[in-house]
Amino acid sequence: MHLSVPRGSRAKSRACFNNSHTLLSVHPEIPPAPILLFDGVCNLCNASVQWVLQRDRAAVFRFAALQSEAGQALLARFGLETAHFDTVVLVDGDRIFTRSDAALEILRRLGMPWSALAILRWVPRRLRDAVYNWVARNRYRWFGRQEQCLLPRKEWAQRFL
């Protein structure tokens, strides 16, 4: 789902990157870089973020766990659910993408060959999101979860809010 809303690996565990120096606390406006919000305790989600980091050579994306202070602030800013984390959210200025739209938009921005998969936008959203929701419902059972959010590798830490 894409919405326009007015603007208003070795890892250690820690509580969802709750840095007191997040971009949101220093700059109340939304940072200009697209921000990928993900479930910080989900093993599949963490692996997906690492996959994006390895392929985002231009360092286009910033990242925040949905459970983090920055993630919660962005969810609230856009009127999204702050207690249930069943979707990836891509925040880009005053626009947000969720579910399969977010995944396809991320692939599009990674460039070739990944952007070629954006052709899947032609598949009806209802069908794409049904598959997305099925995986989301089963992700903890299939891939497991952590007790706390994982910290990013040192070389990627500056890209996390």
pLDDT at residue number 43: 84
The closest of 113, 89, 85 to 100, measured between CA atoms, is 89
pLDDT at residue number 12: 34
Domain ranges of the chain: 2-154
What are residue 19's phi and psi, to 5 degrees? -80, 140
pLDDT at residue number 44: 84
Q: Which pTM does this prediction carry?
A: 0.77
Do residues 90 and 102 lie in contact, with contact meaning Cβ atoms separated by under 8 Å?
A: yes
**Neighbour tally for 81: CB within 10 Å:** 12
Cα(87)–Cα(21) distance, rounded to whole angstroms?
26
* Cα distance between the two ends of the chain: 23
Do residues 87 and 100 lie in contact, with contact meaning Cβ atoms separated by under 8 Å?
A: no
Do residues 64 and 158 lie in contact, with contact meaning Cβ atoms separated by under 8 Å?
A: no
pLDDT at residue number 105: 93
Cβ-proximal residues to 130 (8 Å cutoff; 6+ apart), any chain: none
Q: What is the mean pLDDT of each run of 10 residues along the chain (161 residues)?
A: 38 38 44 85 87 91 91 90 85 91 92 87 92 91 80 80 83
> For the CA atoms of 25, 28, 109, 38, what is the dihedral angle to 10 degrees?
50
How, if at all, do strands 62-65 and 35-38 pair? Answer: parallel
Cα(95)–Cα(103) distance, rounded to whole angstroms?
14
